[in-house]
């Protein structure tokens, strides 16, 4: 077909993808083409604007390496990661809610013993003890579940962003005991700005948005026969809970960090008093 109108062009392109053998891929591509063409028509996109967008996406891809994931950061900043989480990773009734994984996840972080700290440096800061149980939706404890955690250090950076930190600082894998209990030792997380020295920083600057995430600890909780849970534990006192730059806060994931001054409790957990304490359970949904 030649001399097509704006809408005929879309129909022709969609038709050209009709022979895609995989039905799901065909659906995803044809729907994407329609949405993108609608956008171009509605915005009356100019060739200069489209070229700027292509250059922006090119810079975003070029910024990626094994430690920097600017594409995930872009997806997070456009709210796409949070939306994909909402449409595809919803927690069944009663299970702990999920949220985005973010660009700072590193697989295969070290195994940590019961109550061992993930902070790999000396500090005068009070410890934070995170403890609770991993249970199923009926409340039954899940022994030998895996709990993988990661968080920023008090300078607001993850180990992979900051060469002054030890490798695997503030990351690790714990396991629950026979009663489904876990004991994690760390420090209280702080709010932190996402990296702004790349294309996503340009986007934030151009749109007058702040780069802050509310303080949180990331967790991935796994157990055979259960859906893997990718979640955060947010700090109820944080100033950025209502304006998270990546739109990932869910009310049910906000937790209170309590101060504990008991020398006896501190000795029990192998920390100094006073220390912070966060009690929380992770509730896993059964595998579909
Ligand atoms: C994070 O929490 O690590 C994160 C998530 C999305 C974008 C940037 C950071
Ligand atoms: Fe984070």
Domain ranges of the chain: 1-45, 81-284
pLDDT at 83: 94
Between the CA of 30 and the centroid of ligand 1 the distance, in Å, is 30
Torsion of CA 277, 236, 175, 222, to 10 degrees: 170
Between the CA of 22 and the centroid of ligand 2 the distance, in Å, is 36
pTM of the entire structure?
A: 0.91
Residue with CA closest to ligand 1 atom 1:
102
Q: Which ligand gives the minimal distance to the CA of 248?
A: 1
pLDDT at 91: 77
Distance CA 109, CA 219 (A): 12
CB of 233 within 6 A of ligand 1: the answer is no
DSSP string, the chain: --S--HHHHHHHHHHHTTT-SSHHHHHHHHHHHHHHHHHHHHHT--HHHHHHHHHHHHHHHHT--SS--HHHHHHHHTTHHHHHHHHH-PPPTTSPPP----TT--SSPPB--TT-B---S---SPEEEEEEEEEETTS-B-TT-EEEEE---TTS--GGG-TTSPTTTTEEEEE--TTSEEEEEEE----EEPP-SSHHHHHHHHTT---EE--EEEEEEE-TTB--EEEEEEETT-TTTTS-TT----GGGEEPPEEE--HHHHHHHT-PSSEEEEE--EEEPBP-
Given its phi and psi angles, is residue 189 left (phi above 0), alpha (psi -120 to 50 degrees) or beta? beta
| Triad 205, 207, 211: Cα angle to 5° | 55
Q: Which class does domain 81-284 fall in?
A: mainly beta
Contact predicate 70/200, CB 8 Å: yes
Q: Which of 194, 195, 244, 247 to mutate to test the pocket of ligand 1 (most atoms within 8 A of CB)?
A: 194
Residue with CA closest to ligand 1 atom 6:
102
φ and ψ of 196, to 5 deg: -115, 10
Residues 60-63: contacts with CB within 8 Å, 24+ apart? Answer: 60/198, 60/199, 60/200, 63/198, 63/199
CB of 194 within 6 A of ligand 1: the answer is yes
CB of 101 within 6 A of ligand 1: the answer is no
pLDDT, averaged in runs of 10, over the chain (288 residues): 88 97 98 98 98 98 93 95 87 90 93 97 96 97 98 96 96 98 97 96 97 98 96 97 96 96 96 97 94
| Closest-lying ligand 1 atom to the alpha carbon of residue 194 | 8
Between the CA of 152 and the centroid of ligand 2 the distance, in Å, is 7
CB of 104 within 6 A of ligand 1: the answer is yes
User: Beta partners for 90?
Assistant: none
């Amino acid at each position: 077909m030649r001399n097509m109108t704006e809408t005929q062009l879309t129909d022709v392109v969609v038709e050209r993808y009709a022979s895609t053998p995989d039905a799901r891929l065909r659906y995803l591509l044809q729907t994407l083409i329609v949405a993108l063409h609608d956008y171009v028509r509605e915005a009356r996109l100019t060739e200069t604007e489209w070229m700027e967008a292509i250059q922006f996406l090119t810079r975003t891809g070029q910024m990626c390496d094994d430690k920097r994931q600017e594409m995930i950061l872009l997806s997070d900043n456009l709210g796409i990661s949070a939306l994909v989480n909402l449409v595809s990773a919803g927690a069944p009734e009663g299970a702990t809610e999920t949220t985005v994984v973010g660009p700072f996840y590193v697989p295969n972080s070290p195994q940590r013993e019961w109550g061992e700290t993930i902070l790999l440096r000396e500090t005068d800061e009070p410890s934070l003890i995170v403890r609770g149980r991993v249970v199923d939706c009926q409340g039954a404890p899940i022994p030998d579940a895996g709990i993988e955690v990661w968080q920023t250090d008090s300078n607001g950076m993850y180990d992979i962003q900051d060469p002054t930190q030890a490798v695997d600082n503030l990351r690790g894998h714990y396991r629950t005991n026979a009663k489904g209990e876990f004991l994690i030792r760390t420090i209280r997380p702080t709010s932190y700005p996402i990296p702004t020295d790349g294309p996503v920083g340009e986007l934030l600057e151009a749109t007058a948005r702040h780069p802050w995430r509310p303080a949180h600890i990331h967790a991935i909780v796994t157990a055979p026969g259960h859906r893997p849970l990718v979640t955060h534990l947010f700090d109820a006192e944080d100033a950025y809970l209502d304006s998270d730059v990546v739109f990932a806060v869910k009310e049910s994931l906000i937790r209170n960090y309590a101060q504990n001054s008991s020398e006896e409790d501190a000795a029990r957990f192998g920390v100094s008093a006073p220390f912070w304490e966060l009690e929380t359970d992770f509730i896993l949904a059964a595998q579909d």
